[in-house]
Structure 1
Amino acid sequence: MQLEFLGTCAGMPSKHRNVSATAIRRSDAKGWCLVDCGEGTQHQLLYSELSLHHLHAVLITHVHGDHCLGLPGLLATASMSGRTEPLTLVAPKDLRVMVEAVQAVTRTHCNFPIHFLAIEDWSGQVVVGDFRVDITELSHRVPSYAFGFNEIPRRRQLDIQRLQREQVPAGPEWGRLQQGEDVALSDGRLLQAEDFLLDPGPPRRIVIAGDNDRPELLTGAVEGADVLVHEATYTQVVADRNDNRPQHSSAEMIARFAQHAGVPHLVLTHISPRYGDGPRSQPALSELEQEARAHYRGTLFLARDLARYQLEPDRQLRPL
């Protein structure tokens, strides 16, 4: 599974960061899903290898502008680029009103059907592209949600080493075993398919959260999750000074939660534009990282625009 951050800034863009947008896909597939679509997302795509023709779905965590104002333009560009395949749009129901209003006023017509799924009507898991997705309600100034992406297991892989060890010659028999069919060899041996198929293990899971000032609401969602992507808009000092009225999480808040919940990998995003990453920046991004590392012992990343990460089969998250 791969993550690519198209925008990591909170509220408004900075010189080096665009507003919220995160792509997720299987490592072995062209198809992908987009979580949030802040203004300028389609421009960020020009610097990636992602194609709007292979976009399975757009999922919007909440209706604040830095998470959704890029959607009408992205849909228009997809249409002008020749897309005809249906697209799934998962979002709060009010977003449908916005998209249809913009399309009506601007006389924009999409050459592909949009299948709209209102989050308010969603229960359980829904298949979206290559994933089974579930939702968790969060706490923010408007209804906000997290999406849990569970990979759909593909065909089990053959245990090539065992086949070679038992001197089973490569040929049609290997294909039949992979299809789950027991095979009788010419030397009289009967091979049980189950003995030659590797255990895929539990599906990998990545949780991508929208804006949220109560990380504990994710307790159930992160159980068994390999990665949590969550906002760290500011440090705890700033949160305390503002009495956390914007209802965001500080780096300390989410780090404490992730440590307590046993989340193995934490990626921080949605960072206030006040934090710069230059050597003389005040305040600096390093303050957020230092605060998070003081409370979290797992693998930590501060996402940057166009950064990519891969969740390997061994369930380790590594930058690409």
Structure 2
Amino acid sequence: MQLHFLGTGAGMPSKERNTSALMVKLLDEIGEMWLFDCGEATQHQILQTSLKPRKVTKIFITHLHGDHIFGLPGFLSSRSFQGGDEPLTIFGPVGLQQWVEQTLALSKTHLTYPLQFVEVQEGVIYEDVQFTVRASELRHVIPCFGYRIEQKELPGELLMEKVQAFGVPKGPLLGQLKRGSNVELENGTIIKATDVVTPPKKGFTLTILGDTKFCEEAITLAEQADIVIHEATFDGDTTQLAANYGHSTNVEAARVASRADAKYLLLNHLSARFLPHDLPIFLAQAQEIFPHTFLTYDQAVFTWNSNKLF
């Protein structure tokens, strides 16, 4: 799994940071990409990458502020022009469907693929054989959601040396063993799956939080997550100002990750008030509370592999 940050700024674009957009690349897992928020000029950011919009099968919107949705109509239109014909599902708060459909209708935009909307509420909003996505409302100035993506338990690996030693032939029997079923060879020998397959592996948990002030709901969504992506619009010197605007500081984001017993924290949605020379101190403030904290920046790519973030 890879996290490709297309926009990491807050409120409006700056020279250093575009508005909010994050591509979660699940190409190795399911051959898909999921987009979280779609701020203005997201498709321009994509032009600087090798990302293919037609591979995006789901879009999750945290809330309806412009810096999180103004790029959505353009992205949907470009997906058609670039040959996208696979269905696309958009998850988001009440009002998102109306806004998108009216924008497409008034601009006479025709999509070449089916578009489905899911109105987000508390609880599980999506589930298949490999993933579960849960949503919870956070504490912003308008309804805003955080998402918890849980990869389900992964099957163990087939130990080919042991399989060959037992004399299991190539073919369907190997698949049965990998799925956890015992098999019987032609000579009557019973091969137990537990003898030739490693134990199942725990899948990853990724928590992506929309705009919010410090709250218990964020901690619950982030509980024991492998990666928490948390907004950090303000710093530790402006805590009250952050709360007044329904936002968090870098220090509060670190407190969420610490209390949730997460593994890694990525600070996102940074205000343009923080210039490049401010960022080392900004990061250090958070790392004093939660050492495994990193800053995001536009076009940064983080890879999750073997329970580590690179």
* TM-score normalised by the chain length of structure 1: 0.88
Quote the residue 2:308 is aligned against: 316
Q: 1:285 aligns with which of 267, 276, 279?
A: 279
* 2:56 is equivalent to residue 64 of structure 1: no
Q: Distance in 2 between matches of 1:3 and 1:243?
A: 26
Within 1, Cα distance between the matches of 2:25 and 2:199? Answer: 22
Change (3 A) 1:56 1:155: farther
How far residue 138 of structure 1 moved from its aligned partner, in angstroms, is 0.2
SS at match of 1:57: strand
RMSD: 2.2
**1-side partners of 2:56 and 2:174: how far apart?**
34
Aligned to 2:104, what secondary structure does the other structure show?
helix
Structure 2: distance between partners of 1:44 and 1:105? 25
User: What's the offset of the Cα at 1:178?
Assistant: 2.2
Query: Which stretch has the larger CA shift, 64-73 or 39-48?
Result: 39-48
- Corresponding residue of 1:207: 207
Are the equivalent residues in 2 in contact too, given 1:56–1:129 (CA < 8 A)? no
Counterpart residue number, 2:126:
126
Q: SS where residue 220 of structure 1 aligns?
A: helix
2-structure distance, mates of 1:309, 1:200: 25
Q: Counterpart of 1:191?
A: 191
Report the residue type matching 1:316 in the other structure: K
Letter in 2 for 1:38: G
Report Cα offsets for 1:100-154 as digits up to 9, x if no partner: 121122111112111100114x643413796321101100010111111112445
Moved more, 263-272 or 75-84: 75-84
Letter of the aligned partner of 2:302 in structure 1? Y
Q: Structure 2: 5+ residue runs without aligned partners?
A: none
Alignment pair present for 1:139 and 2:132: no
> 1:225 & 1:106 partners in 2: Cα distance?
41
> Aligned equivalents of 2:69 and 2:140: distance in 1?
16
CA distance in 1, matches of 2:27, 2:293: 21
Q: When the two structures are superposed, what TM-score results if normalisation uses the length of structure 2?
A: 0.91
Segment drifting more, 45-54 vs 140-149? 45-54
> Structure 1 residue 27: deviation in Å?
5.1
Conservation of the 8 A alpha-carbon contact between 1:8 and 1:20: yes
* Count of aligned residue pairs for this structure pair: 308
CA distances 1:62-85 after superposition (whole Å, capped 9, x unpaired): 001111110000001011222121
What is the CA deviation profile of residues 206-226 of structure 1, one whole-angstrom value per residue up to 9, with x for unaligned ones? Answer: 000000102422232222311
Partner of 2:299: 306
- The secondary structure found in structure 2 opposite 1:22 is strand
Q: Which moved more, 1:192-201 or 1:136-145?
A: 192-201
CA contact (8 A) 2:56 2:88 kept: yes
Q: Is the 8 A contact 1:234 1:288 kept in 2?
A: no
The verdict on how the C-alpha distance between 1:160 and 1:85 changes in structure 2, with shifts beyond 3 A counting, is same
Task: Give matches, 1:1-320, under 5 Å.
Answer: 1-26=1-26, 28=28, 29-120=30-121, 123-127=123-127, 131-153=131-153, 155-163=155-163, 166=165, 168=167, 171-172=170-171, 173-185=173-185, 189-240=189-240, 242=241, 244-277=243-276, 281=277, 284-297=278-291, 299-313=292-306, 315-318=307-310
> Letter of the aligned partner of 1:308 in structure 2?
V
Distance 1:57 1:21 in 2: 13
User: Secondary structure in 1 aligned to 2:135?
Assistant: strand
The whole-number CA distance in structure 2 between the counterparts of 1:104 and 1:9 is: 30
Gapped regions of structure 1 (runs ≥ 5) = none
